[in-house]
């Protein structure tokens, strides 16, 4: 074991902190990833679950938490250990056709999701300021999300995303305005409830698919690589194994907090919808903005405004993550220079991919493509991508050739393979039901 006098100066930036200001400084890829998981599309899913079934599906957000932590921590570990993102490692060790296929499918799914999120942001803004046409809001949000990634330095941009993650506390504030039955909520959290209906299982599968999404895998791994480049004292762990203990401790903390934050906000949205919409027998919610509008007569103007502002804030966080993860995957698969730390002229194709994905997402709305159908197809493509990517993640994370001494142990592997099997069943169910026209 290396003595502290030799290792501490090199890794002090990754030591797990004890004070709150230092904790905020350490949190990064995991926190942003978790917050981006609660995008407007996710808000619509959780609102529908609460509206249709009250608190009965609250247990799903408890069940998905350890699965999210395991998979996302593996992604971060791969990036921090190898100095390459998910697609970069797939390109290095697996057939190229696999890498290109997964990257293109991710691009399609993310573009569809961007379109749905931009549409939800525009609808939410029109609820607050209806005088302006929706397409103007879509154009404005698309421009903001693209330009900030190109113009701002990586460290500044990450700081912006971290502060945007706080916008999700809007849903905690909304929850505090409604009346709750704590007994029913405790039952929903602690006692899994099941029904035999296809609609019930479709919502369950949608929750799992929303909380465990492929774009989150690529983003967190790539941001670990970016953070390593942004801090000169850090190196990929395969080169500097002595940094391993501190780096992996930071990753665990960051991922635990990020995924815990993600599921806490998701629970707040589901419970708010259950306590208001379900109680008022409003059981069908097709968009996040519709959920906000339905809250107004039930929970008052304050809850309505805060809920709508939350949609806008989380959209501004999620759209760049969706576009960025697609660009990382496609860029690494094509051997392009990638990274938000690079100047625009140094990574033209990377930034062009971000812009194209965002523009195509905006066009989905301009062409009046049905938002709900867009969400369904995004979920279907995500289901196709998630399972093979998760399988490759576990294979890479358990490989001594790829991870060296930092490969995951048996306990992590069991949880990760269990999450993969569960997602395979969930994705197959969702795809069959969606394609079947439910």
Residue indicated by tokens 């993650």: 165
Tell me, what's the pLDDT at 5? 39
Q: How far apart are CA 302 and CA 411, in angstroms?
A: 46
Task: State how far the alpha carbon of 183 is from the alpha carbons of 47, 51, 132, 191, 277, in Å.
Answer: 20, 18, 44, 11, 18
Tell me, what's the pLDDT at 196? 78
Q: Are the beta carbons of 34 and 262 closer than 8 angstroms?
A: yes
Higher pLDDT, 436 or 62: 62
Q: How far apart are CA 294 and CA 304, in angstroms?
A: 8
Q: How far apart are CA 385 and CA 388, in angstroms?
A: 6
In the chain, what percentage of residues exceed pLDDT 90? 55
pLDDT over 90 at 93, yes or no: yes
Q: Which of 244-253, 299-308, 320-329, 344-353 has the lowest mean pLDDT?
A: 299-308
Token duo for residue 124? 């939410």
Please give the angle made by the CA atoms of 47, 376 and 56, to the nearest 5 degrees.
35
Q: How far apart are CA 408 and CA 336, in angstroms?
A: 29
Tell me, what's the pLDDT at 138? 94
Could you tell me what percentage of the chain is helix, strand and coil, using 3-state DSSP and rounding each to the nearest 5? 80, 0, 20
pLDDT over 90 at 217, yes or no: yes
pLDDT over 50 at 205, yes or no: yes
Helices 410-435 and 371-397, interaxial angle, to 10°? 150
Q: What is the pLDDT of residues 111-125, one digit of tens each?
A: 999 999 999 999 999
Tell me, what's the pLDDT at 437? 54
Task: State how far the alpha carbon of 111 is from the alpha carbons of 114, 210, 281, 322, 378, in Å.
Answer: 5, 15, 34, 8, 8
**pTM exceeding the 0.85 threshold for the entire prediction:** yes
Tell me, what's the pLDDT at 374? 73
pLDDT over 80 at 193, yes or no: yes
CATH numbers and ranges of domains, the chain: 29-435 (1.20.1740.10)
Q: How many residues does the chain have?
A: 438
Q: How far apart are CA 327 and CA 27, in angstroms?
A: 23
Token duo for residue 195? 């029904």
| pLDDT mean over 354-365 | 94
Band the pLDDT of 372: cuts 50, 70, 90. Answer: low
| pLDDT mean over 408-427 | 90
Q: Which of 51-65, 152-166, 212-226, 355-369 has the lowest mean pLDDT?
A: 152-166
**Of 118, 182, 135, nearest in space to 358 by CA:** 118
- CB-side exposure of 129: number of CA atoms within 13 Å? 10
């Amino acid at each position: 074991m290396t003595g502290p006098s030799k290792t501490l100066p090199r890794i002090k930036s990754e030591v797990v902190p004890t004070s709150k200001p230092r904790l905020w400084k350490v949190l990064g890829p995991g926190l942003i990833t978790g917050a981006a998981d609660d995008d407007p599309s996710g808000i619509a899913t959780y609102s529908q679950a609460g509206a249709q079934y009250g608190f009965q599906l609250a247990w799903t957000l408890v069940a998905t938490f350890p699965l999210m932590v395991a998979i996302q921590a593996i992604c971060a570990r791969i990036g921090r250990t190898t100095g390459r993102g998910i697609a970069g490692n797939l390109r290095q060790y697996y057939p190229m056709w696999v890498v290109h296929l997964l990257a293109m499918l991710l691009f399609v799914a993310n573009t569809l999701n961007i379109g749905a999120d931009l549409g939800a942001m525009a609808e939410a803004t029109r609820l607050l300021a209806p005088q302006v046409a929706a397409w103007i809001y879509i154009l404005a949000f698309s421009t903001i999300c693209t330009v900030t990634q190109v113009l701002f330095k990586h460290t500044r941009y990450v700081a912006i995303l971290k502060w945007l993650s706080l916008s999700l506390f809007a849903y905690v504030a909304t929850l505090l305005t409604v009346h709750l039955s704590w007994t029913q909520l405790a039952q929903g959290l602690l006692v899994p409830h099941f029904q035999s209906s296809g609609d019930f299982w479709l919502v369950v599968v949608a929750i799992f698919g929303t909380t465990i999404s492929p774009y989150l895998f690529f983003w967190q791994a790539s941001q670990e690589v970016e953070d390593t480049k942004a801090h000169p004292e850090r190196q990929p762990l395969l080169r500097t194994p002595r940094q391993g203990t501190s780096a992996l401790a930071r990753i665990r903390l960051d991922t635990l907090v990020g995924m815990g934050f993600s599921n806490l906000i998701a629970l707040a949205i589901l419970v708010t919808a259950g306590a208001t919409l379900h109680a008022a027998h409003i059981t069908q919610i097709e968009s996040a903005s519709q959920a906000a509008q339905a809250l107004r007569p039930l929970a008052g103007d304050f809850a309505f405004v805060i809920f709508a502002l939350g949609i806008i804030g989380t959209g501004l966080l999620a759209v760049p993550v969706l576009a960025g993860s697609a660009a990382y995957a496609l860029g690494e698969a094509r051997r392009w220079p990638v990274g938000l730390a690079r100047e625009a002229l140094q990574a033209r194709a990377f930034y062009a991919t971000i812009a194209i994905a965002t523009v195509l997402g905006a066009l989905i709305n301009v062409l009046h493509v049905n938002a709900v159908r867009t969400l369904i197809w995004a979920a279907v493509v995500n289901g196709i991508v998630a399972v093979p990517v998760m399988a490759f993640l576990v294979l890479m994370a358990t490989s001594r050739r790829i991870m060296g001494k930092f490969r995951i142990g048996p306990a992590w592997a069991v949880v990760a393979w269990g999450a993969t099997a569960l997602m395979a069943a969930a994705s197959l169910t969702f795809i069959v039901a969606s394609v079947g026209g439910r």
